Amino acid sequence: MADEIPVLTRSLTLGPLDAAERDLLARLPGLPGVTGQQGQGQDHGQDQGTTPDATVVLDGTTVRLGPAATEAVLALLGRLASGATVTVSEQDRWLNTSQAARLAGVSNTYLRQLADRGEIPVTYRGTHRRIHPDDVTAWVRRREEAPGTPT
């Protein structure tokens, strides 16, 4: 759905790092915006025609990140290394009533009635209803499982 509405749901602020941590990150090659000895002038390893690689080890588990995650991690580390404070946030998708009605296969009027009766949870942004897609699919599933309900 191209016209979904992103809504900030959670965030975490990191940094600024202390000088020792910034110096450590500045030595990593390929970080954007870092003016360290080895990291300076390199753009994610792209000057050499290579794809950047990021491997994360957490509590003994090693995971090699894919290209999109690698870019995000390198950008985050580059900003932290430059002394910036970084906020990482998660976005969740919310639908307006027309989008939710299409997803549920019902009319806009009927969906608004369902929301008004509390059968589908709704969040208001000003006077506008916003509905999470998971709540719509849960309602559809309940309706399909109800005895005597046509599917």
CA distance 49 to 38: 17
> How is residue 3 annotated by DSSP?
T
**Element at 64 (helix H, strand E):** strand 61-64
- pLDDT (0 to 100) of residue 138: 94
- pLDDT (0 to 100) of residue 45: 43
- pLDDT (0 to 100) of residue 76: 87
CA end-to-end span of the chain: 24
- pLDDT (0 to 100) of residue 106: 96
Residue 81 vs residue 8, higher pLDDT: 81
CA distance 98 to 2: 13
* Contact (CB, 8 A) for 20 and 84: no
pLDDT in tens, 95-136: 999 999 999 999 999 999 999 999 999 998 888 999 999 999
Q: Given a cut of 80, is residue 39 above it in pLDDT?
A: no
In three-state secondary structure terms, 141 is helix
Q: Given a cut of 90, is residue 147 above it in pLDDT?
A: no
pLDDT in tens, 57-98: 888 899 998 888 888 888 888 888 888 888 877 777 889 999
- pLDDT (0 to 100) of residue 51: 65
Residue whose pair of structure tokens reads 């559809």 in the numeric block: 140
Residue whose pair of structure tokens reads 């369902």 in the numeric block: 114
Q: Could you tell me the sign of the dihedral formed by the alpha carbons of 76, 82, 86, 91, in that order?
A: negative
CA distance 141 to 135: 10
Residue whose pair of structure tokens reads 């109800």 in the numeric block: 146
